[in-house]
Amino acid sequence: MRLLAVLLLPIVSYAATGSMEAERGVREMELDRAECYRVHDLQINKDDVHVYFTDGYLIFAKPVEGARMAAVFSADVEAGDGEVLVLPPDRSERRSLVMYTGSPNLDEHITQAVLLFGNDTYDDLKRQITANEFDRPQPEMGAMMADEWTTVVRNLASSFEARLLLDLLSRQQGRQNCFVAAVRGKHLGNFDLMYEPQTEEQVIVGRVASRNNMTYFDVWTSFEAGPYRNGRRPLPEQELTLKDYRIDATVEPDLQLRVVTKVKLTMTHGGECVLPFYIAPAMQVSAVTIDGRAAEVLQPESLRSNLMRNDGNELFLVVAEHPLEAGRDYELEFHHQGRVVIDAGNHVYFVGPRGSWYPNCETEFTRFDLTFRYPKELGLVTPGEVVSDTTEGEHRITRRVTQAPIRFAGFNLGIYQRTQIERDGFTIEVCANRAVESALQPKLQKPATHNEKGAAGAESPAVQPPDPTIRLEDLASRVASTMQFMTVRFGPPPLKTLEVSPIPGTFGQGFPGLLYLSTLAYLRREDEAVARLDPRRQDFFIDLLEAHETAHQWWGNVVSPESYRDNWLMEALANYTALLYLEEHDGHGVLAAALNNYRQDLLKRDPAGHTVESAGPIVLGTRLESSQSPASWNSITYGKGSWILHMLRSRMGDEQFMKMLAELRRRYEWKTVSTEQFRQLAAEFLPPHSSDPKLETFFEQWVYGTGIPILTLKYAVHGRPPAEKVTGTVSQSDVDPEFSVAVPVEIQGEGTRQVEWVRTSSSPVEFTATLKQAPAQVSLNTADVLAAVQ
């Protein structure tokens, strides 16, 4: 918990005093034994969330700054009962709920509930208690419940502290407060439900779970509440916008990062004092000013709410001395520091929070002016054109400015060897560490041998560490070739200079003007660290990774996703366009092999018999990375996402498909795109008289639904040449009854090939073909269909 005093002010402002008292009140919240009641038939209704306290005890917490923000319900009485009811509105969310609870609707009787809320909920409950003649104060039970539950309430409140303070300190008129209930169900055990009116999806239900020493918040269901879905209530506007970042960062010799971030802020609504921001947990915000006047910082840990958000960042609050005006630009200055750079050994550095080392809210396109001071023996990569580059004492000082708007700015450090290529007006600079990190170092020598007499023989020669600079020129050439391929088809990249840098680990990232590539991408197949991988992983690091991350210059950095449900589109586009490049560069077999591997991954089954693909629709995004199936997000996002695009390509044809991608970039340049907008765009490029002209069925099955059909072909040959007949059926299994896919039946003879298209159904579908000669082979061709043949 951090609460930083306002510096250099002769007196403490009212806003600062109020926020300090509010934070202390939330941290030290306690139950009010005088406000305990035996209750009957109470209700809490938050749009689609319904909580019923049929019979039991309810105790409220003492006020914090005049607001009662917590309560505990216990059904520990004879015939005591409570109930939670949530009905997800669409099939994908009902299917998600089934995965965790076994039921498409949440209707759970509960024995206990710890509630966090705003004054509106307290007032509503108190009115119901007052109106019910059977509800009476129970101070004796209040004393017992206060002793038993106060610590639990404090723990839960601390897990949502920043969010509670945002409601408590907000001055926005008519603002709805959040509602959190941690309940114990009679059948499902402990779980959480949250109504959050400030987000795009107001209803969230799930549970904290662990697997292999990792903690997850498994989202059972999350959706837009009824009044927002139906248009009766407008979606919450973004409260503030940030633009024109000017960041001055110093990397100390011990790798501590100290930063001053200046940014312009504009408020959507006036009269607000409390401002929400996000930053990496490793960074501590020590001071903030607004137009030069000191503001207060509240940066509590808020563990559970941060875990529920699942983006790796923490919410913190800035409290202004006076209310801010709508539409006016304010200059914010943040001072923050932390250890985000880690030495992975051999002077190879790992930058942890690559996109959240400075304060942000919504990631919007804006310009960045970046100045870094760092040890002069290190090299720096960061986006933007070099404005100045000097050395002062033991520090090198580099300033860069982006010429185009970008969504976020990353950086990297190392002792680099560099190479540079100029192509068609843009520059590719690839940096390689001069050594590999400790984790990739081979053993210094092999075990000594012994002769027949047992004497130690000569030691084997030491195994030389791999050289991460050996593929430097080849890697630069491949990145430049990928850039040319994509620039011709999708237009110019966001920035004229693209820097490529290594990062320890087995992943990559494509930021505007900056790629992070795993050290493994710099090595050769024969190097031990790569050679011990299976061939597919070798292909990924040596061939696909750099093309995929290069593609993110367009998909994610020119066109961006509207919400977490649309992130799959950016990853799928990057992956599939990388495969398109490899297809042109290395032949169609590369693409075919990749798609076949993705199909196999998606069809793998867990011990319960569930396929990886069945973990949920691709639009669930990071929710797919759960305690039940930690690896599903990767396989579904990249694998199924690539298949979705490949099947669209097969429907459109190559020329129309590439035109569609070019139009996607043109239409949504520096904008966000949703899955529905992508569907509508793709439908424009279908051939005339397509059977699914709006792609509604296609998206319902492959994007919003789950299922990979297992196809079975049965056939018989009748008659004699030249009028032989092939009759047969195609059946499908492992999918919902309404699932249907068009699949080609290929009938091959000597020098002939005939194709009969069959659209599958819940029952076997018959087909007939007349031939001039007996067929040599009859088979299902799933090269362009995500299906398996039994």
Report pLDDT for 10.
Answer: 31
CB 547 within 8 A of CB 482: yes
Report pLDDT for 362.
Answer: 78
Report pLDDT for 172.
Answer: 65
Write the DSSP string, 38-98: EEEEEEEEETTEEEEEEEEEEEEEPPBTTB--EEEEE--STT-EEEEEE--SSHHHHHHHH
Reading the block at residue 44, the tokens are 């809490």
Report pLDDT for 15.
Answer: 44
Q: Does the bond joining 744 to the residue before it have cis omega, within 30 degrees of 0?
A: no
Q: For residue range 574-633, list pLDDT tens digits in order.
A: 999 999 999 999 999 999 999 999 999 999 998 889 999 999 999 999 999 999 888 899
Report pLDDT for 444.
Answer: 54
Report pLDDT for 174.
Answer: 57
E strand or H helix that includes residue 338: strand 329-338
- C-alpha distances out from residue 240 to 46, 310, 361, 364, Å: 26, 22, 8, 11
Report pLDDT for 12.
Answer: 32
3-state helix, strand, coil in the chain (%, to 5): 30, 35, 35
Q: What is the C-alpha separation between 255 and 343, in angstroms, rounded?
A: 8
Global pTM reads 0.91
Q: What is the C-alpha separation between 73 and 56, in angstroms, rounded?
A: 7
In the predicted model, residues of the chain with pLDDT beneath 70 are 1-18, 172-175, 443-462
Report pLDDT for 231.
Answer: 87
Residues 6+ apart with CB under 8 A from 131: none
Q: For residue range 56-78, list pLDDT tens digits in order.
A: 999 999 999 899 999 999 999 99
Q: What is the C-alpha separation between 73 and 12, in angstroms, rounded?
A: 39
Q: What is the DSSP letter of 708?
A: -
Report pLDDT for 462.
Answer: 63
Q: What is the C-alpha separation between 578 and 591, in angstroms, rounded?
A: 10
Report pLDDT for 14.
Answer: 36
